[in-house]
Structure 1
């Protein structure tokens, strides 16, 4: 087991290299990961999210505060992510606390979203029961016509979250399953340690 101040940045750099390699190999949406959360009773849920940024501040993604994942993150702010790229025979697991980010950061990334994503965020009452036949596409078109060429503001419920890693594990896959796993973990004293695990 190795202890070193550079282990956390090293783990993040390795994760980013895998994302970049997956993109170079033509993997569709290489930045996506399965996000697992749980409610107050520890009942788990999992869904796929787009990871916007990987840096020392954490792994950034967006969620509607009123959606199922938004409510779970508010009630039980622990999360796990799993990236999986079959073409690379690699997966990466990340666990840690999830923290809502401030409005400035949410606004910054909102402005980078496509107009269709912005319209969809306004048109859909995400995760809520539909009253009658869903009309999300029609509502999005109406919003687009009403907005014209004006910028579309960020809904208050659309928020950036960061997973602050406490464990990052590189777990190679493949039929032979004999490749070593590598775990980076944050100890109670704040130090990161690295350990090689049996496959």
Structure 2
């Protein structure tokens, strides 16, 4: 049964976890139990060195105190932008719950070992698709996409499909993690964990 979030309690500092990782984990468990279609869906916003922005939805694959990890083609638009300008923002849009989590931080590639471990867990069709698709480039038609997929099938046959060299993981290393909760009269609760120059994280409230 879904909870009624129209009259939720205020999001107050004493009720927040000591660190963003624990707080995110608690909210993610609630989102997963709320029957959202993709609770791990997040919007990734990147920008070119000239400051031209772009955004898209991807799936969070793992997180820990080091940051949030997703995987992509390194030669795609987002891959190229994150390589040239390694900084990004993430938004988890849990609209039915009147909640968002907003992350800002630097971006780094995960190790090749982490990429290969995750890639081996993907469905075979997704593995072949990673080889078949020159993501974000212009293609003449749908048939070209399907033909490339058939070529990948023929190339690997029934054998294992390795991770392509142009494909792998990105980790967003947070500098801030904001927990946003909707309230009446647009007086929303916004509590943000911010990493200080000295190292420790601080929790601060933002005006709605």
- The alignment's TM-score, normalised by the length of structure 2, stands at 0.85
Contact kept? 2:103, 2:178, Cα under 8 Å: yes
How far did 1:179 drift?
A: 3.5
Does residue 115 of structure 1 match 2:124?
yes
- Give the whole-Å Cα distance in 2 for the aligned partners of 1:85 and 1:155: 33
Contact kept? 2:90, 2:104, Cα under 8 Å: yes
Structure 2 residue aligned with 1:137, among 146, 156, 161? 146
Structure 1 residue aligned with 2:170, among 161, 178, 184? 161
Superposition CA RMSD, Å: 1.9
How far did 1:175 drift?
A: 5.5
- Give the whole-Å Cα distance in 2 for the aligned partners of 1:20 and 1:128: 37
SS in 2 for 1:83: strand
How far did 1:89 drift?
A: 0.8
Between 175-184 and 58-67, report the one with greater CA deviation.
175-184
- Give the whole-Å Cα distance in 1 for the aligned partners of 2:199 and 2:91: 23
Structure 1 residue aligned with 2:85, among 73, 76, 80? 76
Q: How many residues align?
A: 193
SS in 2 for 1:107: helix
Structure 1 match to 2:191:
182
Structure 1 match to 2:137:
128
SS in 1 for 2:81: helix
- What residue ranges of structure 2 are gaps of 5+ in the alignment? 1-12
Between 93-102 and 126-135, report the one with greater CA deviation.
126-135
How far did 1:192 drift?
A: 0.9
Structure 1 match to 2:33:
24
1:32-89 CA-to-partner distances (Å, cap 9, x unmatched) read 1000011110111111111101101210011211101111111100010000111211
- The alignment's TM-score, normalised by the length of structure 1, stands at 0.89
How far did 1:181 drift?
A: 1.0
Equivalences for 1:51-66 in 2 at 5 Å? 51-66=60-75
- Give the whole-Å Cα distance in 2 for the aligned partners of 1:115 and 1:134: 20
